[in-house]
């Protein structure tokens, strides 16, 4: 009877083993400088588009503001609202003393029973297989304290009886550890959102901590919210390195939707920079310089790298030791690595397996024959790298199956 619905974020769906299941509950928990609401919008939009209703309880902003905010991400909810597929339970405007336009309005939002009752009425009216979003649990805890945690079992029953899914939005202000632990214990899935900080906040990542009631080995995936577009998995940096004249610049350009190179003649003298977008993935590409006199820059570029493409000239085995040396200099040895055995179209090019042998590369490093000038195997190559970077995802599953 229960079914699974996708969130619309491919990697998240993989980690959740297919999406969010009805009859279950999910906690999206975020650090105070990271937003959870856009992810909830994305899931809501997906749910509605699949043909099932969404009930959105808000206690910290007006429903029309939410509609407007969602629109900025490129999703129009008006149609769904007009059709009655999307309903708001307005537990906010009561605080402001303004009259609400919504059918389900909590007149006194300081009364938890009234919130509860209004929500239940909406759930009964709207029917089964709905997604119930509670935005936010943290505000509820601020107003009512720990008693909210006691409600969890009751709400969970509602989810099961109505074959629905409840999504709690929770911001981790300094709540008591005990409360946080009890919240975490009482939900089926936990998606946590945290920033990557280096003084300022550079980026965010999400982690799935629990699926189907079982904790899983946490794996962190960097993401960005894009307007329009919503949550996009984002890789801060992929380094493209290799000896002089191996074809790095051509690879960067072949992969990039936009790219910049600083060159003198045919040789890159500063760096290549590109941006890569493919199947919902985004990455910044940094190409290094092959000549030895630029080695000091290598180490600088290596920082924050999540994955490496090593480009070698398949016709020039004497450059292979230099290729390995460059990995060490960039301090990226041990990171996910794919070797592009480039210039496969030229006479005398060694086959990928021969190159693996000569470079003494471990079995788990893919060596891919490429022709960068003709874009042959370039996309396939970076897909291999992405698989390695996100390999932990399937491993996490395997550990618990």
Q: Which residues bind other proteins (CB under 8 A)?
A: 30, 32-37, 59-62, 65-66, 68-69, 92, 95-96, 139, 142-143, 171, 173-175, 195, 199-202
Nearer to other proteins, 112 or 311 (CB): 112
| Residue 6 to residue 38: CA distance in whole angstroms | 16
CA proximity to 95, closest of 142, 130, 55, 52: 142
For residues 144 and 244, which CB has a smaller minimum distance to other proteins in the complex? 144
CB of 52 to other proteins, least distance (A): 26
To the nearest whole angstrom, how small is the minimum distance from the Cβ of residue 280 to other proteins? 22
For the CB of residue 304, give the shortest distance to other proteins in the complex, in Å: 15
Q: Residue 236, SS3?
A: strand
- Smallest gap from Cβ 142 to other proteins, in A, equals 4
Match 């429903």 to its residue by tokens: 63
Would you report the helix, strand and coil content of the chain in percent, each value rounded to 5?
35, 30, 30
Contact call for residues 126 and 53 (beta carbons, < 8 A): yes
Nearer to other proteins, 2 or 173 (CB): 173
How many Cα neighbours within 13 Å face the side chain of 354?
Answer: 11
Question: Which segments of 303-351 does DSSP mark as H helices, in order?
Answer: 320-329
CB closer to other proteins, 96 vs 358: 96
Q: DSSP character for 390?
A: T
Per-residue tokens: 221: 């995936």
Minimum Å distance from CB 256 to other proteins? Answer: 22
Q: Which is nearer to other proteins, 42 or 60 (CB)?
A: 60
CB atoms within 10 A of CB 380: 12
- Buried residues in 246-272 as b, exposed as e (16+ CB within 10 A): bbbbbbbbbbbeebebeeeeeebeebb
Which C-beta is closer to other proteins: that of 36 or that of 126? Answer: 36
Beta carbon of residue 246, minimum distance to other proteins (angstroms, whole number): 33
Tell me whether residue 172 or residue 345 sits nearer to other proteins (CB atom). 172
Strands (E), 31-143: 54-58, 86-90, 104-105, 131-135
CB neighbourhood size of 91 (10 A): 31
- In angstroms, give the least distance from the CB of 374 to other proteins: 38
Residue with Cβ nearer other proteins (14 or 142):
142
Nearer to other proteins, 123 or 171 (CB): 171
Contact 132, 164 (CB under 8 A): yes
Report the half-sphere exposure of 12 (CA within 13 A, side-chain side).
28
Q: How far is CA 180 from CA 174, 183, 210, 283, 298, in A?
A: 10, 5, 14, 34, 43
Q: Do 317 and 351 meet the contact criterion of CB atoms below 8 Å apart?
A: no
Q: How far is the CB of 139 from other proteins (least distance, A)?
A: 7
The minimum distance between CB 81 and other proteins, in angstroms, equals: 17
- To other proteins, the closest distance from the beta carbon of 66 in angstroms equals 7
Minimum distance, C-beta of residue 169 to other proteins, in the bound complex (Å): 9
Residue position matching structure tokens 């550990």: 399
Q: What are phi and psi of 41, to 5 degrees?
A: -60, -45
Residues near 173 by Cβ (< 8 Å), separated by ≥ 6? 32, 138
Nearer to other proteins, 144 or 294 (CB): 144
Nearer to other proteins, 142 or 397 (CB): 142
């Amino acid at each position: 009877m229960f079914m699974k619905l996708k969130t619309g974020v491919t990697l998240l769906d993989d980690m959740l083993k297919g999406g969010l299941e009805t009859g279950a509950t999910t906690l999206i928990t975020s650090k105070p400088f990271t937003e959870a609401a856009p992810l909830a919008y994305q899931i809501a939009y997906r749910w509605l588009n699949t043909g099932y209703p969404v009930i959105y309880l808000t206690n910290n902003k007006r429903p029309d503001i939410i509609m407007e905010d969602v629109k900025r991400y490129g999703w129009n909810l008006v149609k769904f609202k007009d059709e009655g597929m999307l309903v708001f339970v307005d537990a906010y405007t009561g605080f402001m003393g303004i009259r609400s336009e919504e059918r389900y309005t909590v007149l006194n939002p300081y009364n938890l029973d009234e919130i509860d009752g209004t929500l239940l009425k909406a759930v009964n009216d709207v029917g089964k297989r709905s997604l119930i979003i509670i935005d936010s649990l943290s505000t509820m805890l601020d107003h009512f304290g720990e008693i909210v945690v006691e409600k969890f079992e009751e709400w969970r029953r509602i989810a099961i009886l109505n074959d629905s899914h409840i999504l709690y939005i929770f911001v981790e202000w300094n709540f008591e550890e005990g409360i946080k632990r009890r919240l975490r214990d009482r939900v089926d899935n936990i998606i946590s959102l945290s920033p990557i900080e280096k003084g300022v906040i550079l980026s965010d990542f999400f982690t799935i901590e629990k699926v189907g009631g079982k904790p899983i080995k946490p794996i962190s995936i960097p993401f960005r919210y894009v307007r329009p577009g919503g949550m996009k998995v984002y890789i801060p940096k992929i380094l493209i390195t290799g000896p002089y004249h191996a074809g790095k610049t051509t690879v960067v350009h072949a992969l990039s939707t936009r790219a910049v190179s600083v060159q003198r003649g045919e040789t890159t003298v500063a760096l290549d920079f590109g941006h890569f977008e493919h199947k919902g993935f985004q990455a910044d590409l940094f190409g290094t310089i092959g000549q030895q006199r630029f080695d000091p820059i290598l180490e600088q570029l290596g920082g924050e790298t999540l994955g490496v493409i090593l480009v070698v000239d398949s016709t020039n085995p004497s450059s292979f030791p230099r290729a390995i040396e460059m990995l060490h200099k960039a301090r990226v040895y041990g990171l996910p690595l794919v070797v592009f055995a480039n210039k496969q179209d030229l006479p005398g090019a060694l086959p990928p397996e021969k190159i693996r042998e000569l470079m003494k590369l471990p079995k788990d490093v893919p060596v891919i024959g490429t022709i960068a000038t003709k874009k042959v195997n370039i996309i396939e190559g970076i897909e291999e790298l992405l698989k390695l970077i996100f390999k932990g995802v399937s491993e996490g599953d395997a550990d618990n199956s």
